[in-house]
Amino acid sequence: MGANYRAACRAKSGADFISKMGNVEEECDESVYWMELLIESGTIKPKRLLLLMNEGNELLAMVVQSINTARRGNKSAIRNPQSAMP
């Protein structure tokens, strides 16, 4: 997720930024999914992952918001992606 976000920060255009942030969204969601599977399979106790899963879901919400902001045409979010993160 982090490497994909770094790539998005160096996007060449608004469309490129949105595309790369879509990759960030997918990777973040996949990470939370794998943690859910670890819990459901009994491999790891829920309390060991709950904080990390909460953080993953918070990051996912911020990424989705950044994508939505960029889609609305907020040029400052594309030039400076960190400003689009709440």
> pLDDT band for position 81 (50/70/90)?
low
Burial class (CB in 10 A: 0-12, 13-18, 19+), 5: buried
Range of the domain at 45: 2-84
- pLDDT for 2-48, tens place per residue? 999 999 999 999 999 999 999 999 999 999 999 999 999 999 999 99
- pLDDT for 48-80, tens place per residue? 999 999 999 999 999 999 999 999 986 655 556
Contact 83, 19 (CB under 8 A): no
Burial class (CB in 10 A: 0-12, 13-18, 19+), 66: buried
State the pLDDT at residue 74.
Answer: 66
**Structural domains of the chain, count:** 1
